[in-house]
Amino acid sequence: MTNSELKDFLDEKVLQYNTLEFIETDPVQIPHLFTQKEDIEIAGFLSATIAWGNRTMIIKNSYKMLELMGNAPFDFVRSHSEKDLQALEFFVHRTFNGNDFASFIRSLKNIYLNHGGLEAVFSKNQSRSLGTKSMQKSIHEFKKLFFEIPHQYRTQKHVSDPLNNSAAKRINMYLRWMVRQDNKGVDLGIWKSISPAALSCPLDVHSGNVARKLGLLNRKQNDGKAVAELDLQLRKLDINDPVKYDFALFGLGIFEGF
The pLDDT tens digits for 176-229 are: 999 998 889 999 999 999 999 999 999 999 999 999 999 999 999 999 999 999
Percent of the chain residues topping a pLDDT of 70: 98
Confidence of residue 129 (pLDDT cuts 50, 70, 90): low
pLDDT at position 130 is 55
pLDDT at 173 over 60: yes
Q: What is the pTM of this model?
A: 0.96
pLDDT at 234 over 60: yes
The predicted-structure confidence for 2-34, as pLDDT tens digits, reads as follows 889 999 999 999 999 999 999 999 999 999 999
**Other CB atoms closer than 10 Å to residue 6's CB: what's the count?**
16
